[in-house]
Chain A
Amino acid sequence: MAAARADYLTLNGISAVRARRRVLDAVTLLVAPGEIIAVVGPNGAGKTSLLEAAIGALPLSAGEVRVGDRRMVGIGERARWFFFLAGEAEPPAEVPVATLLEQAVAAPGADRRLVPDLIERLDLGRLRGATAGSLSRGERRRVLLFAALVSARPFLLLDEPTGVFDPLQLLDVVALFRECATRGTGLVITVHQMSDAETLASRILVLDEGRALACDTMQGLRDRAGLAATASLQQVFLQLLQTRDSGEDDPRAPS
Chain B
Amino acid sequence: MLRRELALVLRARVTWMQAALASLLVGHGFVLAIDLYTAGARSAAVGTLMAREFDPLLGIIRPTLGGLYLALSLFGPLIGARSLAIEKDRRTIHMLLLQSGSVPRLLLRKWLAAMAGAGLPIAGAAALLIIWLAVGGHLKASEAVTAFAGYVAYAGFVTAVGLAAGAFAHNFAQAATAALLAIAATFAIDAAEGFSALAWMGGAAAWSPTGYLHPFEEGTFALSSIGWFAGATSGALVLAGIGCCFDLHGLRRTATVVAGVVALLLLCLAGRNLPGAWDVTEAHRHSLPPAAARALRTLPGRLVITANLDREDSRRLQLQRDTLAKLRLARPDLRVRWPPDERRAPAALDASEGYGQITVALGDRSVQTMSTSRRELVTLIFELADRALPDWSQLEFPGYPLVTEGGRRTAVVAASYFVFPTLMLAIGFAFTRPRRRTQ
Q: What 9 A-B pairs are tightest by C-beta distance, nearest first?
A: A56-B247, A79-B101, A59-B249, A94-B11, A86-B91, A130-B437, A103-B1, A95-B7, A89-B91
* Cβ–Cβ contact B95 & A94, under 8 A: no
- Distance in angstroms from A148 CB to nearest chain B CB is 8
Give the interface of B toward A (CB within 8 A). Answer: 1, 3-4, 7-8, 11-12, 86-87, 90-92, 94-95, 97-103, 244-247, 249-250, 432, 434-439
A-B contact pairs, 22 of them (CB 8 A): A52-B94, A75-B102, A75-B103, A75-B247, A78-B98, A78-B247, A79-B102, A85-B95, A87-B91, A89-B90, A89-B95, A90-B90, A91-B92, A92-B4, A92-B8, A92-B90, A96-B7, A106-B1, A107-B101, A128-B438, A131-B434, A139-B437
By a CB distance below 8 angstroms, the chain A residues around B95 are 83-86, 89, 144, 147
Residues on the B chain within 8 Å of A1, using CB: none
Closest to B439 in A: A126
Evaluate contact between B90 and A129: CB separation under 8 angstroms. Answer: no
Q: Is the CB of A55 within 8 A of B436?
A: no
A126 touches B437 (CB 8 A): yes
Query: Could you tell me if A76 and B438 are in contact, using CB atoms closer than 8 angstroms?
Result: no
Contact of A55 among B91, B94, B244 (CB under 8 A): B94
Task: Verify A126–B438 contact, CB threshold 8 A.
Answer: yes
Question: What separation, in Å, do the CA atoms of A96 and B433 have in the docked complex?
Answer: 11
Which B residues are CB-close (under 8 A) to A73? 247
A2 at the interface (CB under 8 A from B): no
With the chains together, A73 CA to B8 CA distance in Å? Answer: 30
Residue from A59, A86, A87 within 8 A of B250 (CB atoms): A59
Residues on A with beta carbons closer than 8 Å to the beta carbon of B245: 74-75
Contacts of A144 in B (CB 8 A): 95
Interface size class of A (residues with CB under 8 A): 35 or more
**A103 to B4, Cβ gap below 8 A?**
yes
A17 → chain B, closest Cβ, in Å?
11
Closest to B12 in A: A94
**Apart from the given pairs A78-B98, A102-B3, 6 other A-B contacts in the complex at a CB distance below 8 Å:** A55-B98, A92-B86, A95-B8, A108-B100, A127-B437, A130-B434
Could you say which residues of chain B place their CB within 8 Å of the CB of A72? 247
Contacts of B435 in A (CB 8 A): 96, 129-131, 134
Nearest CB in chain A to that of B13: its residue: A94
Contact between B98 and A79 (Cβ–Cβ < 8 Å)? yes
Cβ–Cβ contact A131 & B250, under 8 A:
no
Contact A79 B97 (CB under 8 A): yes
Task: Decide: A74 near B247, CB < 8 A? Known: A83-B99, A102-B1, A107-B99.
Answer: yes
The interface centre, meaning the residue of A73, A126, A131 with most chain B CB atoms within 10 A of its CB, is A131
Q: Complex Cα distance A153/B100, Å?
A: 12
Contact between B7 and A129, CB atoms less than 8 A apart = no
Q: Which of A55, A56, A90, A94 has the most CB of B within 10 A?
A: A94
B247–A147 touching, CB < 8 Å: no
Q: How far is the CB of A158 from chain B (nearest CB, A)?
A: 10
Query: A49 an interface residue at 8 Å Cβ cutoff?
Result: no
